[in-house]
Amino acid sequence: MKMSMSPEHLARVEKARESISKMSMSEQSDLVTRMQKKWETFSKLPPKDQEAYMEKQTEEQKDELIKIQVIVTHARMQQQQMMMRKQVEMQQGGGGGPMAGG
């Protein structure tokens, strides 16, 4: 979501982060599952259309879409970090996991 970062939007993102930090992984997964269709629709839109789409949502839906954005972004970052670690291990000739001799 590449919307302009208005003070209102930044406040919503911060509120979403706080809320997510109190959610279990199961609760996060349930939220993503429940809002999946809306998220797919939203994420396929160009940035300008995303803003218009958000304006049409209820306050609760806006908050939930932002929560999903934070969850998805965090998951992607974790996935990238894991892939980078694997690449570094392979470049170092490692790949030997916990069973490697030593």
pTM (2 decimals)?
Answer: 0.74
Residue 4 pLDDT greater than 90, yes or no? no
Give the CA dihedral 84, 44, 37, 72, nearest 10 degrees. Answer: 20
Report whether 29 contacts 80 (CB < 8 A). Answer: no
Report whether 37 contacts 85 (CB < 8 A). Answer: no
For 43-64, how does the pLDDT look when each residue is reduced to its tens digit (9 = 90+)?
999 999 998 999 999 999 999 9
Residues in the chain, overall count: 102
Range 51-60, long-range pairs (CB < 8 A, 24+ positions): 51/3, 51/4, 54/3
3 — pLDDT class (breaks 50, 70, 90) = very low
Q: How far apart are CA 66 and CA 56, in angstroms?
A: 14
Residue 95 pLDDT greater than 60, yes or no? no
